[in-house]
């Protein structure tokens, strides 16, 4: 009887190990998908800078910030660093869109319009991949936090994985609403 219980415990631990490995590998695979989309977006930045420079010469500071943000995103190594760098890159791309609002000729340039459409498509791809990645991270963290994952994670490479957020929603508090009673 003891041998059967020992065998059942060994099978249970093996299945738990396998589930933890599968969850970790899913997180790593979906991170790779995000990474591909982010690199595609970074690859468009030089063309975007060139398109803006062809139409206007007075926005050098904005373009320099965009180029710097791209370079930072390219060398970021952890998902946390990558998210911060990508936030700056998205902000820089938004600043370039504001340039197009100030310079109507830029908004009509075919190369610029094409790049904006490609960037919008990549943003959609990044957001879709981010949702899948964050769901995989949620499952992985749950498996790490439950028994026997709490024991097994010490035996393998089961380090924590961060959620990937491109905005500051995690830093926002609950909005407050001030109600004012009218004197009527």
Q: Model confidence over 130-150: pLDDT tens digits? A: 999 999 999 999 999 998 888
3-state secondary structure 128-153: HHHHHHHHHHHHHHHHHHCCCHHHHC
Domain-embedded: residue 48? yes
Q: How confident is the model at residue 50 (pLDDT cuts 50, 70, 90)?
A: confident
Give pLDDT, residue 168. 45
User: What's the CATH code of the domain at 72?
Assistant: 1.20.1440.20
pLDDT at 46 over 70: yes
Do the domain assignments include residue 170? no
The tally of domains found in the chain comes to 1
Range of the domain at 16: 2-152
Q: Which helix (H) or strand (E) holds 1?
A: none
* Within-domain flag for 164: no
| Domain contains 177 | no
**pLDDT attached to residue 58:** 65
Q: What is the pTM of this model?
A: 0.76
Assign 8 to helix, strand or coil: helix
Q: Let me know if residue 163 belongs to a domain.
A: no
Q: Tokens 């963290």 correspond to what residue?
A: 141
Kindly state the tokens that stand for 51. Answer: 């398109």
Residue 163: CB partners within 8 Å, gap ≥ 6? Answer: 134, 137, 138, 170
């Amino acid at each position: 009887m003891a041998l059967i219980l020992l065998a059942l415990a060994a099978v249970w631990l093996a299945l738990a190990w396998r589930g933890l490995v599968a969850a970790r590998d899913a997180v790593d695979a979906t991170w790779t998908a995000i990474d591909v989309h982010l690199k595609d977006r970074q690859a468009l930045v030089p063309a975007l800078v060139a398109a803006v420079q062809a139409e206007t010469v007075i926005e050098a500071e904005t373009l320099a910030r965009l180029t710097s943000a791209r370079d930072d995103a390219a060398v970021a190594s952890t998902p946390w660093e990558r998210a911060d760098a990508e936030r700056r890159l998205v902000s820089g791309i938004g600043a370039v869109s504001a340039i197009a609002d100030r310079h109507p000729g830029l908004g009509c340039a075919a190369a610029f319009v094409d790049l904006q459409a490609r960037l919008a498509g990549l943003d959609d791809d990044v957001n879709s991949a981010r949702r899948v990645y964050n769901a995989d991270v949620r499952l992985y963290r749950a498996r790490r936090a439950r028994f026997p994952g709490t024991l097994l994670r010490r035996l393998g490479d089961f380090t924590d994985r961060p959620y990937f957020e491109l905005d500051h929603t995690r830093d926002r508090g609950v909005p407050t609403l001030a109600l004012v009673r009218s004197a009527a």
